[in-house]
Homo-oligomer: A and B are copies of this chain.
Amino acid sequence: MVVTRMVASACNGRGQEMPDKLDDVARLAGVSAATVSRALRGVPGVAERTRTRVLAAAAELGYAISPAASSLATGRTGTVGVIVPYVDRWYFARLISGVERVLRDAGLSLLLYNLGDDPGRARFFADLPLRRRVDAVLVLSLPLKESERELLRGLGTPLVTIGTEEPGADSVGIDDHGAAVTAMRHLVQLGHREIAFIGENAPIPLGFTTPLRRLAAYREVYHGACREDGRAPDPAFETGGGFTVAGGERAMGALLGLRRRPTAVFAASDEMAFGALRTLRRAGLRVPADVSVLGFDDHDLADLLELSTVAQPVAELGERAGKLILARLSGGKIATSPSILGTRLVLRGSTAPLAGR
């Protein structure tokens, strides 16, 4: 009978069911619950022999501390909340992946909150489901309204952001403006003067600032080039693609409808650039012979589509943010915020010198 039961109960040879408590381990190890607690958490003040004995007992029972009880007693949760505007876009998925890796290595769990649409965002901040549920909060590429920021800070946990800077938060990001300027200059150096931009449509749905910074860089360089030539910049060259392939397609379509057509296009994301490529192809235009296209991100498929782009180290941004969290959590000192990672221009087949005319 016993044998049967042991086989049936599987998994570790003992008929262990979930409800094992600290005291069970204590009894088995012949010590008090307090000692077990200390031993299991590796805090100093337990004799080595005792510790090993406790560990053995715990292992035998397949025991694991109850996070709820532990967190009630300590106030710590072992969890970090990650707030994102999207999870199924390349950039965000990649970011999450990077963050997750370092949190996991540190033994922390990741609670994922996707804001969804605007009502969803409002509900999130009204309910604040991560309140008292996390030890730290990470906000991914999502500029916060002041009220939202205050709510998050009111949580009393470290706050880290990627891609935006918020007072009271550590942040990691890239030099959006500088990278975009470099990209634009590349187009200008190729001889392009009629350069269009595909960025975000206003009003910006979830309030990104990134597109704004890239737009500013675009204007800086494009207007500068126009000025040198004594021509007027064309405001119709500033379009929005909503950071999606379909949006990029539409934006490019609009640009092709202009009397004055651009000879080069700078898209604030690769996905929009992909869309632009498609519209161009369908219109029978060749890239880069007829139109140069430059993206931003270095999406997994940019290489496949021969897209020239600005590469940013997305996974590393996530990892860096994760490490920042770990540092804050362990009370370590933080290097001067924000921490900026490098980008680089990756030239592939979608940009070329302006064809002489």
Contact = CB atoms under 8 A, between A and B. Distances in A.
User: Which of A88, A107, A116, A120: most chain B CB closer than 10 A?
Assistant: A88
A87 B93 contact: yes
B79 A88 contact: no
Given A100-B114, A132-B67, A304-B274, A151 B88 contact: no
Nearest to A76: B68
A153 interface: yes
Contacts of A150: 10-12
A109 to B, nearest CB: 5
A79 B79 CA distance: 12
Contact of A18 (B66, B67, B132): B132
A130 B86 CA distance: 24
Given A109-B129, A154-B10, A154-B11, A97 B104 contact: no
A101 interface: yes
A291 interface: no
Nearest to A131: B64
B87 A96 contact: yes
A154 B111 CA distance: 23
A300 B104 contact: no
Interface string A175-206: 00000000000000000000000000000000
A77 interface: yes
Interface string A79-118: 1000000111110111011001100100101111110100
A155 B69 CA distance: 17
A97 B109 contact: no
A293 to B, nearest CB: 13
Q: How many copies does the complex hold?
A: 2
Interface in A28-78: 64, 66-69, 71-72, 77
B88 A101 contact: no
A328 interface: no
User: Which of A89, A93, A274: most chain B CB closer than 10 A?
Assistant: A93
A77 to B, nearest CB: 7
B120 A104 contact: yes
Interface in A132-185: 132-133, 147, 150-151, 153-156
A316 to B, nearest CB: 13
Contacts of A133: 67, 109
Contact of A301 (B100, B101, B127, B245): B245
Given A68-B69, A89-B93, 14 more contacts: A11-B150, A18-B156, A64-B128, A64-B131, A68-B132, A90-B90, A93-B93, A100-B112, A109-B130, A245-B303, A274-B301, A275-B304, A277-B304, A305-B305
Q: Which 8 A-B pairs have the closest CB atoms?
A: A11-B154, A93-B93, A88-B97, A68-B71, A68-B72, A88-B93, A87-B97, A88-B94
